[in-house]
Chain A
Amino acid sequence: MNADYAVWLRGIEKQFPGVIACAGADLRVRPGTIHALLGENGAGKTTMVNVLAGVYRPDGGEVWVDGQRRFFQSPADAIAAGVGMVYQEFRLVPTLTVAENIVLGSAPRLLRSAEIEQRVAELSAAYGMAADPNRPVWQLSMGERQRVEILKALWRNASVLVMDEPTAVLTPGEAAELGVALRAMAEEGRSVIYISHKLDQVVAFCDEATVLRHGKTVATIDDLEDVDLTSLAEMMVGAAGGGYGQRPPALEPGPEVLSLRGVSALNDRGLPALSDIDMTVCSSEIVGIVGVSGNGQKELAEVVNGLRRPTQGRVMVKGQDVTDAPPGDRYRLGLAYVPEDRLGVGLAPKMSVVDNAVVRSYRSQRRGLMLVMDKCIKFCQDLVERFGVRAGRLHDPVAGLSGGNLQRLLLGRELAERPAVLVAAQPTRGLDVQGVAAIHGHLVAQRNDGVGIVLISEDLDELLALSDRLLVMYEGRVVVEYTPDVTPRTVIGEAMAGQVRA
């Protein structure tokens, strides 16, 4: 029966320092089909396909391709077995030409550019994917670069094509063209594994699907025509209650502490990420932001904190316009931020616990122009005790701390100077149960103390357990607001998939 599958990843386990990416996940793909691989960020999708592509070696589990068990030592092995991978971050050399990029790794010993360009042109014509072979890649649009990536896989005659978030960089027209090209490949008997968050496209392009959650396979769908968007969204975010504690009773919201008026912004690729966002957060409330990842949540957090410039609109903290203010000024005005990337944006990995603890509030640890070490250490010790950070030695680099302790330290630092607003992005992602409970406890305590909190999360259970109000983001807009207690999960799930029921 193994021969029935073009790809069979069986019980894949993979661990990274501090993170379990895959915990026994399965993926079965039949030949000649387009197979959607679904799941939230961090569910293990990218890790799974990197195992298939020979980039990661799994800690456990089996890899079968075309009915044969494989032990890939490197990407070269996977390529030889017929696996073609199109990474989310394109693997192209900008200074080389289209043809050079396509043949890299499987070029003839001597390069005759005219001959290679001719063959590349024939290949691109055969699949209706226009690409000028002798142009350098840096001059191409994102859609064209993706075509080059696909042609690269076809040049090696890949029998399995893996596409990680292929439409994230495409215009709607390019996305439709991609669908046609992928279908043509499937009809030749190739298999396509298609990772995406855009459920409507998944339903339109794909035949079958696998849903991952927390590194495990939670659903296998043999025929996508049998399911609707809502139930897919539910499978991704989890339908059952998450086992979080009872939601604390709501308080009377205080004065407005953060507001956005008509804010629009672009993402890193220059495409619209936020359009015309209006929202208000009052003191003593938790506003949950829910949405399938990639619908503008990250950009929203960055715009609020001054890390991304809005193209339109105003941002106000405690009634003051901070649209043009740098992050430091916003912090001093009372805006705290727990970023999604805690060990890159939030904390400096090689700096000590003390140094990381005082980088925000160093101004109060000074005498004249000099930092006073005793004050810094005292400040850090207070913080470590109050937030229960198990930190070992305070002068060791923070990179050695576990995820939960990093997050306690980061949260503690942001809350140390009693902010009015806290923006917390994915504050519990990847933490163990204890860590999650501790962070939740702190968030609720802060709310009760009068802090207004924006909680961005992809864990619907968490949002339902903590939020006083719930805003649903879809394609860069706040499409609807719900009250958690009285709104059925299915209604929220549909709104996340872009189908708002009034």
Chain B
Amino acid sequence: MSEEALIGLFVATVQFGTLVFLAALGELIAERAGVLNLGVEGMMAMGAVSGFMVGLETGSPWAAFFAAAAVGALVGGLHALVSVVLGADQVVSGLALTIGGLGLAAYVGRNVVGERPETLFTDLGIAGLADIPWIGEIFFDQPPVVYLTVLLGIAGWFVLARTRLGLAIRAAGESAPTTDTAGHSVMALRSGAVMVGGACAGAAGSFLSLYMAPGWVEGMVAGRGWIAVALVIFGAWRPGRLALGALLFGFTLALQPRLQSFDIELLGVEVNRISPALLGILPFVLTVVVLVIISWRYRHRPSPAPAALGLPYRREER
């Protein structure tokens, strides 16, 4: 295998990692507030198509990126309305969002299939660093969304761990009545978190359609939304572990299309004979393994999963 192919693999790892990390960061925030949103796949598709169309119209990738985030927040707001405000089942509402979002995205984008926008995100060679062999190309010559996502990840961690708002969000995910009687509005916290989560998913979708696979075709999200949902569990609901998991999952996603071109042997197996489909299930297998480890390690103390995850809250119920 050539050095060039190997570097390409790692460059793609960072990009796929960014894609799933951004979507998973949003899901993590929503889940820490106590709302499970299984609509990530649908929100990403809506973000991908709306970002791409705004990109076509305006020619500005940034306008497209933020428009996709806004659309994602709006779609997330629908989930918040149904499951947080009206107290419906979060699983049902989230699945409906995925199915409906995928369908709506296909409908909205039916006339732009196959088109290419004039301007896309371009790689941002960071002066001085981009020229370092290997490292430079992998980490310092990436599109701006990659760096923005890193900043968002740090900001997400900081808000959750070090601010009053973050404390309130975490409390809402652990015990809604406690948060309510402490004087925070559970409804506002949860709705806000779900909308921020939607914005992240929408933005991630546009990164796909404006950079990673420029253009729009139905089904282009291809299960990455589900990988983001799994990643939140894999990361044990913590931003730091989420980042590590994103690189690992990103690696499997990047390896999948390249697998057959590698002529190396691992443990007596020729790598290029492994089915890419098998590799595709690896993130989910790893997630199940992590779930088992978590339930074993946390058998004598509270699990890292938010205790009120999935439970609607109404104040005057008794």
Which A residues are within 8 Å of any B CB, using their own CB?
16, 53, 55-57, 74-76, 79-80, 85, 87, 91-96, 100, 103-111, 136, 138, 152
Q: Which residues of A contact B163 (CB under 8 A)?
A: 109-111
With A and B bound together, what is the CA distance between A56 and B180 in angstroms? 12
Asked if B164 and A94 make an inter-chain contact with CB atoms under 8 angstroms apart, the answer reads no
The interface size of chain B toward A, counting residues with CB under 8 Å, comes to 26
With A and B bound together, what is the CA distance between A56 and B177 in angstroms? 13
Does residue B114 face the partner (Cβ distance < 8 Å to A)? no
Whether A85 touches B181, Cβ cut-off 8 Å, given contacts A93-B171, A95-B174, A95-B307, is yes
**A146 CB, nearest partner CB in chain B, Å:** 14
What per-residue 1/0 map shows which CB atoms of B299-310 lie under 8 Å from chain A?
001100001000
Q: Which residues of A contact B164 (CB under 8 A)?
A: 107-111
Contact of A105 among B177, B182, B301, B318 (CB under 8 A): B182
Asked if A105 and B315 make an inter-chain contact with CB atoms under 8 angstroms apart, the answer reads no
Asked if B182 and A91 make an inter-chain contact with CB atoms under 8 angstroms apart, the answer reads yes
- B124-157 contacts to A, CB under 8 A, are none
A selection of 22 A-B contacts at a CB cut-off of 8 Å is: A55-B181, A55-B315, A56-B316, A74-B180, A74-B183, A74-B185, A92-B178, A93-B171, A93-B174, A93-B175, A95-B174, A95-B302, A96-B171, A100-B167, A103-B167, A104-B171, A105-B179, A106-B182, A109-B163, A110-B164, A111-B166, A136-B302
Q: Which residues of A contact B180 (CB under 8 A)?
A: 74-75
Asked if B167 and A104 make an inter-chain contact with CB atoms under 8 angstroms apart, the answer reads yes
**B177 CB, nearest partner CB in chain A, Å:** 6
Asked if A91 and B177 make an inter-chain contact with CB atoms under 8 angstroms apart, the answer reads yes
With A and B bound together, what is the CA distance between A55 and B181 in angstroms? 7
Asked if B174 and A96 make an inter-chain contact with CB atoms under 8 angstroms apart, the answer reads yes
Asked if B178 and A104 make an inter-chain contact with CB atoms under 8 angstroms apart, the answer reads yes
Contact of B181 among A87, A107, A108 (CB under 8 A): A87
With A and B bound together, what is the CA distance between A104 and B171 in angstroms? 8
- B164-218 contacts to A, CB under 8 A, are 164, 166-168, 170-171, 174-175, 177-185
Does residue B297 face the partner (Cβ distance < 8 Å to A)? no
Asked if A79 and B178 make an inter-chain contact with CB atoms under 8 angstroms apart, the answer reads no
Given contacts A85-B181, A93-B170, 10 further A-B contacts (CB under 8 A): A87-B181, A92-B175, A93-B179, A94-B174, A94-B307, A95-B302, A96-B174, A104-B171, A104-B184, A106-B183
With A and B bound together, what is the CA distance between A75 and B183 in angstroms? 6
Q: Which residues of B contact A138 (CB under 8 A)?
A: 301-302
Q: Which residues of B contact A109 (CB under 8 A)?
A: 163-164
When A and B form their complex, which 7 residue pairs have the shortest distance between CB atoms, in order from nearest? A105-B182, A76-B183, A105-B183, A91-B178, A107-B164, A93-B174, A75-B181
Asked if B171 and A111 make an inter-chain contact with CB atoms under 8 angstroms apart, the answer reads no
With A and B bound together, what is the CA distance between A80 and B184 in angstroms? 12
With A and B bound together, what is the CA distance between A105 and B178 in angstroms? 10
Closest to A93 in B: B174
With A and B bound together, what is the CA distance between A109 and B164 in angstroms? 5
Q: Which residues of A contact B301 (CB under 8 A)?
A: 138
Asked if A105 and B302 make an inter-chain contact with CB atoms under 8 angstroms apart, the answer reads no
Give the number of residue pairs across the A-B interface with Cβ within 8 Å: 81
Q: Which residues of B contact A55 (CB under 8 A)?
A: 181, 315-316
Q: Which residues of B contact A76 (CB under 8 A)?
A: 183-185
With A and B bound together, what is the CA distance between A154 and B105 in angstroms? 53
Q: Which residues of A contact B161 (CB under 8 A)?
A: 111
Closest to B184 in A: A105
Q: Which residues of B contact A92 (CB under 8 A)?
A: 175, 178
Asked if B179 and A104 make an inter-chain contact with CB atoms under 8 angstroms apart, the answer reads yes
Closest to A16 in B: B318
**A18 CB, nearest partner CB in chain B, Å:** 11
Closest to B308 in A: A93
With A and B bound together, what is the CA distance between A106 and B183 in angstroms? 8
Q: Which residues of B contact A93 (CB under 8 A)?
A: 170-171, 174-175, 178-179
Closest to B178 in A: A91
Q: Which residues of A contact B166 (CB under 8 A)?
A: 111
Q: Which residues of A contact B182 (CB under 8 A)?
A: 75, 79, 91, 104-106, 152
Asked if B170 and A96 make an inter-chain contact with CB atoms under 8 angstroms apart, the answer reads yes
**B48 CB, nearest partner CB in chain A, Å:** 36
With A and B bound together, what is the CA distance between A55 and B179 in angstroms? 12
**B189 CB, nearest partner CB in chain A, Å:** 12
Q: Which residues of B contact A103 (CB under 8 A)?
A: 167
With A and B bound together, what is the CA distance between A103 and B175 in angstroms? 15
Q: Which residues of A contact B168 (CB under 8 A)?
A: 104-105
Most-contacted residue by chain B among A53, A76, A105 (CB, 10 A): A105
Q: Which residues of B contact A79 (CB under 8 A)?
A: 182-183
**A86 CB, nearest partner CB in chain B, Å:** 10
**A244 CB, nearest partner CB in chain B, Å:** 29
Q: Which residues of A contact B318 (CB under 8 A)?
A: 16
Asked if A91 and B175 make an inter-chain contact with CB atoms under 8 angstroms apart, the answer reads yes
With A and B bound together, what is the CA distance between A73 and B175 in angstroms? 20
With A and B bound together, what is the CA distance between A53 and B183 in angstroms? 11
With A and B bound together, what is the CA distance between A138 and B300 in angstroms? 11
**A279 CB, nearest partner CB in chain B, Å:** 33
Whether A110 touches B183, Cβ cut-off 8 Å, given contacts A94-B307, A96-B170, A96-B174, is no
With A and B bound together, what is the CA distance between A85 and B178 in angstroms? 11
**A418 CB, nearest partner CB in chain B, Å:** 36
Asked if A111 and B302 make an inter-chain contact with CB atoms under 8 angstroms apart, the answer reads no
Q: Which residues of A contact B181 (CB under 8 A)?
A: 53, 55, 75, 85, 87, 91
With A and B bound together, what is the CA distance between A80 and B318 in angstroms? 25
With A and B bound together, what is the CA distance between A47 and B254 in angstroms? 59
Closest to B175 in A: A93
Q: Which residues of B contact A75 (CB under 8 A)?
A: 180-183
Most-contacted residue by chain A among B166, B171, B185 (CB, 10 A): B171
Closest to A89 in B: B177
Most-contacted residue by chain A among B167, B177, B184, B307 (CB, 10 A): B167
Q: Which residues of A contact B183 (CB under 8 A)?
A: 74-76, 79-80, 105-106
Q: Which residues of A contact B170 (CB under 8 A)?
A: 93, 95-96
With A and B bound together, what is the CA distance between A3 and B307 in angstroms? 43
With A and B bound together, what is the CA distance between A95 and B238 in angstroms? 14
With A and B bound together, what is the CA distance between A238 and B48 in angstroms? 70
Closest to A102 in B: B182
**B244 CB, nearest partner CB in chain A, Å:** 22
Whether A111 touches B167, Cβ cut-off 8 Å, given contacts A94-B302, A138-B301, is yes
- B245-259 contacts to A, CB under 8 A, are none
